[in-house]
Structures are given as C-alpha cells and as structure tokens.
C-alpha cells in the first residue's frame, strides 16, 4: 500500500506545481489532522475540547473549544513550516498573512474550515476538516490582499477533507481524480485506501435537513416528492447526519445528493462558499459529479466576501441535473 507521500511522488506529473511544495503542504495538513484525531478520539475523556471556549467566532456562533483547538492546530502547522503565505479560516474574521524571509516568493494560500460539524462531537458523530489551496493572484513582492482569497473555485490547485469518524480518512484532489488515504493511528501514517473515488451510477441517497421542509422553495419541495415517489429506482433513501463531510463522504462512496437549500433562516444558504462549498465542489466534479447553487456551477461563482454563503447541491450529475429541472422551472 502506498503512503500519501509515496503516492504524491508516484503521481508527481499530475500536479502542475512543485511536488516538493505539495509534499510540504500535506506535511502540515497531516500533522494538524493527527493532532485533531488524537483529541477527537477521546473527546469524552478530556475537558480540553468539550464545551465552549467562551468566545464568539465571526459567524456569531459560540465557538466550541474543539473549533478553537482545530483552528490553532492548522494555523500553527502552516505557520511553523513556512508552507503558505496566507490562511483564511471559518474561525477567523480576516485572513492571516505570513510574511517572513523564509517564505519570500511563496505563492500558496490556504482556506480552511478547521472542524466542520463540530457540534456533533458531543454525540460521537463524524466531523471533518475541509481545505482549499490556490496560487495567490497578486505578486509575491506585494502584501496579500483580500482578492488573493476571493478567487473562483475553478482556480483551486488542491482541495480535500479529513473525516474523523470510525476511521480518519484524508481525501484530496489536485485535478487528477479523487483519492482517499486512511490513517493507521498505531504508526501515524496515511495509507492509500480509496484510489480513484467516483460517484456510482444510479445513486439513490438524498441528504437534506427535512425539518426545514416548509421553508424550502416549491422547486425543492417538488424534488423531494420526486425522491420519495414509488417509480423507477425510487423512493430514494434519506440519510442526513448534519455533518457536511460525513454526509458527502458517504454519498461519494454510495451515490447520493447532498442539499442545503436557502431557507428563511439562511436566505443566502447556510454553507460557506470559499472553504466548504468550493473544495467539496472541486472533489465532486473530479469524481464525475456536479455541484451547483441550484442554477450556477459552484466553481464559477466569483466570491464577494470571505465568509459568504451559498445554497449548495452536490452529487452524481444525473441527480443534480434532475434537481435543477425542478429549481429552474
């Protein structure tokens, strides 16, 4: 079995940028994810990450200790290894510029949701980290600006997630397919376990919070009724655990559509474009699927601000296109 590092080197021609940089990026991501794995796996036994940190994050949400722990783990890992020149995080209001002599001319920036779905940690449901990497759009001689982070998703050079579940799995793409690596915690190594992930044909899972049904648009309501009627390969199976990474990972492997439509509580949608939807959309397309806001390709949306939200639908192409028939009526 290939380790993640061996796999990257074996496939170095598939990455348009420096292989050494990719290896160093993953060195940071692996280190931070192993730190989080270690704490998450014994969450009930330690006060370190259970409960709230007492502060509110940019989202106005009471930040959980584990959110802060995960955020610091990634920021420290990237900063200490001089791997990127800038970081944007769901947990930080503004982007963080890293400027020192050791990373002069470093062109990489990373956007992360350090621990998506963290409210599930108290009930032992899978949670995840989502990451997205770009080349900065400004000259390395200048200070970073917000425009370096407000790039369309189709300019990502690397995207992926780590799911902390019954096992810890890192899934990524550099534009040459989607590949998953499972952590062997006994030696702290990620091994190739899911090469060339691709949405199965005839997916039959739909994932949405049906508690919001009355608040959905008529198009979404009609699509849900389509999923539930007894015809052809339907009714579909409803599966929703309230953790994007967990729901997406299951749907990628078994074949299903994930939906977070806009509601009266979230008129722009709940999920964040830059560090949730764009990386998941990149993986979706690399796995033969489609990701949209109900009308537009997610990866073509020009971001206006760091924490902007969007309605989000992703999964097998035929399922998303069927949904769009209803949302575009």
Sites of contact with ligand P6P (CB under 6 A): 116-117, 209, 242-244, 247, 270-271
Q: How far is the CB of 101 from ligand P6P (least distance, A)?
A: 38
Q: How far is the CB of 75 from ligand P6P (least distance, A)?
A: 20
Q: How many helices (H) and strands (E) does the chain have?
A: 7, 15
- Give the span between the Cα atoms of 285 and 130, in whole angstroms: 16
Q: How far is the CB of 261 from ligand P6P (least distance, A)?
A: 11
Question: Which residues lie closer than 8 Å to 11 by C-beta, 6 or more apart?
Answer: 176
Q: How far is the CB of 220 from ligand P6P (least distance, A)?
A: 14
DSSP for 9-60, written as a single string: HHTGGG-SS-HHHHHHHHHHHHHHHHHHHHHHTTGGG-TTTSSEEEEE-TTS
| Residue with Cβ nearer ligand P6P (185 or 242) | 242
Q: How far is the CB of 117 from ligand P6P (least distance, A)?
A: 4
| Residue with Cβ nearer ligand P6P (8 or 244) | 244
Q: How far is the CB of 74 from ligand P6P (least distance, A)?
A: 17
- Give the span between the Cα atoms of 75 and 73, in whole angstroms: 6
Q: How far is the CB of 209 from ligand P6P (least distance, A)?
A: 3
Helix ranges (DSSP H) in the chain: 4-10, 19-40, 65-80, 218-228, 244-254, 278-286, 317-327
| Residue with Cβ nearer ligand P6P (117 or 294) | 117
Among candidate residues 325, 6, 311, 298, the one with its CA nearest the CA of residue 152: 298
End-to-end CA distance of the chain: 49
- Give the span between the Cα atoms of 258 and 23, in whole angstroms: 31
| Residue with Cβ nearer ligand P6P (57 or 243) | 243
| Residue with Cβ nearer ligand P6P (88 or 98) | 88
Peptide bond into 62 cis (omega under 30): no
| Residue with Cβ nearer ligand P6P (121 or 170) | 121
| Residue with Cβ nearer ligand P6P (67 or 148) | 67
């Amino acid at each position: 079995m290939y380790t993640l590092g061996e796999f990257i080197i074996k496939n170095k021609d598939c990455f348009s940028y420096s292989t050494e940089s990719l290896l160093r990026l993953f060195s940071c991501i692996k280190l931070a994810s192993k730190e989080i794995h270690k704490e998450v796996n014994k969450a009930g036994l330690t006060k370190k990450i259970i409960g709230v940190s007492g502060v509110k994050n940019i989202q106005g949400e009471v930040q959980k200790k584990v959110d802060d722990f995960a955020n610091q783990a990634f920021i420290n890992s990237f900063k200490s290894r001089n791997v990127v020149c800038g970081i944007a995080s769901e947990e930080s209001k503004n982007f963080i510029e890293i400027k020192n002599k050791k990373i002069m001319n470093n062109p990489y920036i990373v956007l992360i949701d350090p621990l998506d779905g963290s409210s599930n940690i108290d009930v032992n449901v899978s949670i995840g980290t989502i990451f997205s990497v770009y080349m900065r759009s400004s000259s390395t001689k200048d200070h970073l600006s917000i425009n370096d982070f407000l790039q369309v998703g189709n300019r990502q050079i690397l995207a992926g997630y780590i799911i902390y579940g019954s096992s810890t799995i890192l899934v990524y793409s550099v534009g040459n397919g989607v590949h998953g690596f499972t952590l062997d915690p006994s030696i702290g190594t990620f091994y190739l376990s899911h090469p060339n992930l691709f949405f199965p044909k005839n997916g039959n899972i739909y994932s949405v919070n049906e508690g919001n049904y009355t608040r959905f648009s008529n198009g979404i309501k009609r699509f849900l009724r389509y999923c539930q009627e007894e015809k052809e390969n339907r009714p579909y199976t409803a599966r929703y655990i309230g953790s994007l990474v967990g729901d997406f990972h299951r749907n990628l492997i078994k074949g299903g559509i994930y939906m977070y439509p806009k509601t009266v509580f979230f008129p722009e949608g709940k999920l964040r474009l830059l560090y949730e939807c764009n990386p998941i959309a990149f993986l979706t397309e690399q796995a033969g699927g489609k990701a949209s806001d109900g009308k537009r390709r997610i990866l073509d949306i020009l971001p206006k601000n760091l924490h902007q939200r969007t309605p989000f639908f992703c999964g097998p192409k035929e399922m998303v296109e069927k949904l769009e028939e209803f949302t575009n009526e």
